[in-house]
Amino acid sequence: MLTIARYGETEPLDFELRRDNITVEDITYADFIGEDIAYIRLTRFSRNSASDMKKSLQNLSDQGMEKLIIDLRGNPGGLLEAAIDILELLIPAGHDLLFTRGRYDEASKEFRSGRSPIISEDLSLVILIDGGSASASEIISGAVQDLDRGIIIGTPSFGKGLVQSVFPINKENSIKITTAKYYIPSGRFIQKPGYLEEEIDIGPEHDSTKVFNTVGGREVTELGGITPDIEVEMSSTPVLARECWRRGLFFKYASLYMQNHELVLPVIVDDEILEDFRGFLSSKELTLNLEGEKQFRTLLTSIDSTAAAAPIMKSSLETIEHYYDDLKAERFDIERDGLILGLEREFSFQLGGTEARIASSFDDDRVILKAIDVLSDQITYDSVLTPSEY
């Protein structure tokens, strides 16, 4: 029996817990986001990833999928075998997918696609990556880029291209040793430079002047990680919304609101809800660190108290303090749109879980919107995959 105190509930709640096998879903979304554009979000690479991906692709293909977005943003990787199996669902047979190279022959391997893909070779494909996409995510995005199978959109990936093996020392301890390096089809090493101390001589890692080519002749660089064909950054979260996410205030408000109100998907936050949320925030002690304020506070504490007491100095400092107070008072109205999005995502999550939360973010996700634009324009899509000299 587990007793918990839930936010918004006046009495503790009792839950009887029973042991069971819990399956963590690797694919958190697989559905259409346009008439013929499908979107799949893959969060990790485990033993089930390839079979789950195959089922999703088959299901979407049966429903008329002609274009596909695979979102690997924030995916830290996982099993190499899962990445290779997923690539074989996308890449025609006979193509090199990955090389590993080590000091010893047994550490050097080559992986090639050995079966026909589950999707048509004519299907337009976009892979989304960011700085949180690592290891297996980079193997997939790197192979898709090098083989000109699709377009990579987002920001440069993490840059993890080392093969590590675990060796037992005794019954209780083991040691993990780097035994090889990953190389994607063009021959690029995807490990980001600077992962070892400079004084350790391991030979050349990267040559930023060396030109690599995709199978279609496009020039690509070896800078560590995968550089997208089209770079698009997500907009930064402003200060008030960031504080609300940090302290779970969107979640807390949504929980309270839904105790007395009924909502349905898709959730639309109107002016009444927004003003109610303003009142909710007014009861919280918010820590808003505006640009330049930290430096001002440091200056304030370092000024001699007698100097600060001087009329002209005191007046100037008070003016600056009032300036920051006024800015904070205006943050709610300034960040209105972002606060609405935060509320809609949290309401959606409580109504429909992770899948509903993801769906609620599509209209504000600059990377996804760019992918949709590219996939909706065949001329643009083809031009990205065409060597620049043509």
CB-CB neighbours of 346 under 10 Å: 26
Q: Which of 135, 157, 348, 360 is catalytic?
A: 135
At 142, list the tokens: 């790197």
Alpha helices in the chain (DSSP H): 49-62, 80-90, 136-146, 239-246, 249-260, 271-282, 293-302, 305-308, 311-334, 336-360, 366-375, 378-384
* Residue 222 buriedness (CB in 10 A; 0-12 / 13-18 / 19+): buried
Backbone angles phi, psi at 388, to 5 degrees: -65, -25
Q: What is the dihedral of CA 163, 169, 171, 173, to 10 degrees?
A: -70
> What does the alpha-carbon distance between residue 145 and residue 140 come to, in Å, rounded to a whole number?
9
Type of residue numbered 47: R
Query: Which of helix, strand or coil describes residue 126?
Result: strand
Q: Which of 160, 181, 229, 360 is catalytic?
A: 160
Query: Is 135 among the catalytic positions?
Result: yes
> What does the alpha-carbon distance between residue 223 and residue 186 come to, in Å, rounded to a whole number?
13
Nearest to 340 by CA among 390, 266, 288: 266
Query: Which of helix, strand or coil describes residue 105?
Result: helix
Q: Which of 26, 71, 130, 146 is catalytic?
A: 146
Q: What is the DSSP string of 255-316?
A: HHHHHH----SSP---HHHHHHHHHHHHTS------TTHHHHHHHHHHS-HHHHTSHHHHHH
Q: What is the DSSP letter of 165?
A: E
**Cα separations in angstroms, 390 against 58, 146, 384:** 36, 18, 11
Query: Is 55 among the catalytic positions?
Result: no
The set of catalytic residues is 135, 146, 160
